[in-house]
Amino acid sequence: MRTAKITCPYCSNSQKIFYFSFNLKQFFNIFSKQEQLIPTRAITDINKKIKKFSCKACLKDLIYFFNINNEEYFVDGIHLKYARELILNKRNGIELLKNKIVKLEKVENSPENEKLLEYLRIKVIKEDEELNHLKEEYKDLPLKL
């Protein structure tokens, strides 16, 4: 069991928490059936969840993570993580649509391509409006995008 002094991303309150270290959690997971069957498995989520708890000051839900790449612990808010992922997914979707538009503009013009281009341009405008709405909805959260 380890202790850590963490800062809440919502209210910046500093507090101590107790948790199992990532190495200890990894030790307990050695004996799981899936790992015995598949000795080499790809790690898709580099941030492993260590502990879920609530801030003592603002009572918001927080999660303590371990980043496998950096080998560092960090704290994130559940609502912050959800909002950040929504906004980033929306941005990535808009970029994909813009890339499709650029590729279609390079192709020889035909009536079908023009209709598709018009549809994609309208879709980008709608997605951009949704992104602005999401940013406005979560503007009070410290998202750090």
pTM above 0.75? no
Residue 145 banded pLDDT, cuts 50, 70, 90: low
Question: 111-137 and 78-106 are packed helices; what angle lies between their axes, rounded to 10 degrees?
Answer: 160
Instruction: Name the amino acid, one letter, at 98.
Output: K
CA distance 99 to 81: 27
Q: For residue 116, what is the enclosing H or E element?
A: helix 111-137
Confidence check: pLDDT of 38 > 60: no
Q: pLDDT (tens digit, 9 = 90+) per residue, 48-96?
A: 787 888 888 888 888 888 887 777 877 888 888 888 888 999 999 999 9
